[in-house]
Structure 1
């Protein structure tokens, strides 16, 4: 199964290195020398990691297929995927692959069915679960322990601690303002 592990950033230097926007918790494994990655493009390209290194908090990757800066620039903004076995799991039991979460049923801490996870959105600050509600609309829930206290892959569900407006945006608390616009 192919899983997105990063997005290629701008070229670094003249020897074909690129900055990598990492989308995996295992970058040293996914971008190890010799690793083969597949681009999300038409047609897809297979790239072989020739070398990778950390520089100023950023992962730099040299692909065998990009011998110089010009070739590296052509790869910019392409997402790359790694082949991950269907039974493979992250080392940390508190980490999950997106594919493991998509399709899980969602229920509240009170046991009320609340929908299904349809996507995992990765933002710089945190990840979000996109949940299709029974009414058909979708909501985004931050994937943090305070709001998602339990994920049970064996039982195939996610527990969400419902807060006003979280699962039902229409039910959000309205904070009254005074006539001067102050809260």
Structure 2
């Protein structure tokens, strides 16, 4: 079973054992109350409470961690197990599963390969390396009508000028 990087624990917050955690996972629900995460040292941690502090930064308290001193010992990476990822709805994808997919147009022309996903305010953007350089493609149904993760293929119907 593979591990996925969920976040990075930083410094403690306050005196009651809370820590700042920067979310790296594309699923913010990995820090919901009751979620189990594995610390880089192999310790399993259960989220007692959490809330968004700013952007992708959370304030998290773990079960059994009730002092600033014990929270200080938690600095480091947090992982979630691949098989423990939540079930996805229709038209939802894990970012890591999109990276490496081949992108083609609806008429079959090769566009390039997905190298990343950017979380933008309006919608996520596929980062695609083409022969002409890097392009950002909005991940919306009108432009990306088909995503086949198992075949590692994404079909796009780009509006005029998107790939120029």
Mapped contact 1:89–1:97 kept (Cα < 8 A) = no
The counterpart of 2:158, out of the listed 162, 167, 170, is: 162
Q: Does 1:82 align with 2:80?
A: yes
How much is the aligned-residue C-alpha RMSD, in angstroms?
3.6
Tell me the TM-score normalized by structure 2: 0.69
Tell me the TM-score normalized by structure 1: 0.63
Mapped contact 2:126–2:138 kept (Cα < 8 A) = yes
Task: Point out where structure 1 has 5 or more consecutive residues left out of the alignment.
Answer: 39-43, 169-183
Task: Point out where structure 2 has 5 or more consecutive residues left out of the alignment.
Answer: none
C-alpha separation in 2, matches of 1:79 and 1:128: 26
C-alpha separation in 2, matches of 1:73 and 1:145: 44
Aligned residues: 159
Q: Does 1:143 align with 2:133?
A: no
C-alpha separation in 2, matches of 1:74 and 1:151: 42
Higher strand share: 2
Q: CA deviation at 1:45?
A: 4.2
1:145 match: secondary structure: coil
Q: After alignment, is 14-23 or 137-146 more displaced? A: 14-23
- Structure 1 or 2, whichever has the larger Rg, is 1
Relative contact order higher in (CA < 8 Å, ≥ 6 apart): 2
The list of structure 1 runs, each at least 4 consecutive aligned residues, that deviate by more than 6 angstroms after superposition, is: 55-58, 73-76
Mapped contact 1:16–1:71 kept (Cα < 8 A) = yes
